[in-house]
Amino acid sequence: MHTVHNIVSGPLVWAASIIFLAGSLYRLISMVLLAREKDGIVYEYMSVRYGLRSIVKWLTPYATENMRRQPVMTLVTFSFHLCAVLAPLFLYAHIVLFKEAWNFGWWSLPDTTGDIMTLIVILGCLFFMVRRIIRPEVRYLTSPSDFVLLLVVAAPFITGFWASHQWFGAPVVTILHMLSGEIMLAAIPFTRLSHMFFFPFTRGYIGSEFGAVRFAKDW
């Protein structure tokens, strides 16, 4: 068990981090080159003003027509993304590990707040899973990989919650937590999770086209 723990907390962390960084850089460069090849004129009418206007609008809860039409979906989506990003970054246990490795840390969330945010992510994954099953228009576009991806996202939070409360089998679950987190990190550049990088570019492009070319709003 100790050997497995050392492997998961050592070499696999570096491997996942390298795959994440290299894969993300590759995807971003590929996107830029592909856009230039397929539609080079896109760069000529990219507008900082209209691009940022669109990005800010779509990052503001209930600011768009579509968000207001789906209030529950909007609430779950914003809560899910906020907690999925902030919880891992500001959990005390994660910060301690980072400080031990790099002698650098930052302020952490209270344990209760971290638990609540973790549960929001888990319940959010469950919501998205059920939605893909019961909503015909979403089910039509759903493939098995979508359910696998939801499990990939949920696993680090489920195992992390379990391990932090020291429930039965906590040492094994802790290893599963680290392993599932590494799998998710490495998967980001090569799955739909990469939208976290592409969103500013796609939204900036759409905002520029609507604002600078069509003279219309894109929300």
Q: What is the CATH number of the domain that holds 8?
A: 1.20.950
pLDDT at 122: 98
Q: What is the pLDDT of residues 203-217, one digit of tens each?
A: 888 888 888 778 888
Q: If you average pLDDT over residues 138-151, what whole number do you get?
A: 94
What span, in angstroms and rounded, lies between the C-alpha atoms of 189 and 196?
A: 9
Instruction: Please report whether residue 219 resides in a domain.
Output: no
Tokens (6 digits) for 78: 């914003």
What span, in angstroms and rounded, lies between the C-alpha atoms of 20 and 190?
A: 9
Residue 179 has pLDDT above 70, yes or no: yes
Instruction: Please report whether residue 190 resides in a domain.
Output: yes
User: In degrees, to the nearest 5, what angle opens at C-alpha 60 toward C-alphas 193 and 120?
Assistant: 55
**Which of 26 and 99 is assigned the larger pLDDT?**
26
Domain count of the fold of the chain: 1
Q: If you average pLDDT over residues 62-74, what whole number do you get?
A: 94
Q: Which structural domain range is residue 209 located in?
A: 2-213
Instruction: Please report whether residue 130 resides in a domain.
Output: yes
Cα 167 to Cα 19, 161, 163, 173, distances in angstroms: 32, 9, 6, 9
pTM listed for this prediction: 0.90
Residue 35 has pLDDT above 80, yes or no: no
Binned at pLDDT 50, 70 and 90, residue 73 comes out as very high
Residue 40 has pLDDT above 70, yes or no: no
Q: If you average pLDDT over residues 174-200, what whole number do you get?
A: 94
Instruction: Please report whether residue 137 resides in a domain.
Output: yes
Q: If you average pLDDT over residues 159-185, what whole number do you get?
A: 96
Instruction: Please report whether residue 218 resides in a domain.
Output: no
Tokens (6 digits) for 190: 């090569």
